[in-house]
Amino acid sequence: MNISSIVVKTLPENLAAVKISLTESGLCDIHFSDELGRIVVTVEGDSNEDETAKLKKIQKLPHVMSADFSYTFTDDDPD
């Protein structure tokens, strides 16, 4: 199992619309946002490739200026 945080940046006037798009996408969970247009989300996946695919989809959402991994945790222990 992999869990990663992503920092998404948008213009402040687009913050509400991007948060709606992120929520409706089903790709991630929103944990924080501020008036400067920064949003912190987490994604989960079975592999690094799965999480990277989700990041690329987030990057293509309307009004997203940038989205980059901030932290990644991988647990390869089957228990």
* pLDDT at residue 12 in the model: 98
pLDDT by residue, tens only, the chain of 79 residues: 899 999 999 999 999 999 999 999 999 999 999 999 999 999 999 999 999 999 999 999 999 999 999 999 988 766 6
Give the separation between CA 8 and CA 22, rounded to whole angstroms. 10
Full domain range(s) for residue 10 = 2-74
Residue 54 is assigned to a structural domain of this protein: yes
* pLDDT at residue 26 in the model: 97
Residue 39 is assigned to a structural domain of this protein: yes
Residue 22 is assigned to a structural domain of this protein: yes
User: What is the pTM for the complete model shown?
Assistant: 0.92
CATH of the domain at 22: 3.30.70.920
**Gap between the terminal Cα atoms of the chain:** 11
* pLDDT at residue 79 in the model: 61
Q: Which residues contact 6 (CB under 8 A, 6 or more apart)?
A: 28, 40, 41, 42, 43, 55, 58, 67, 68, 69, 70
* pLDDT at residue 78 in the model: 61
Residue 35 is assigned to a structural domain of this protein: yes
Q: Read off the tokens for 4.
A: 């990663």
Residue 70 is assigned to a structural domain of this protein: yes
Domain count, the chain: 1
Residue 79 is assigned to a structural domain of this protein: no
> From the centroid of its chain, how far is CA 53?
11
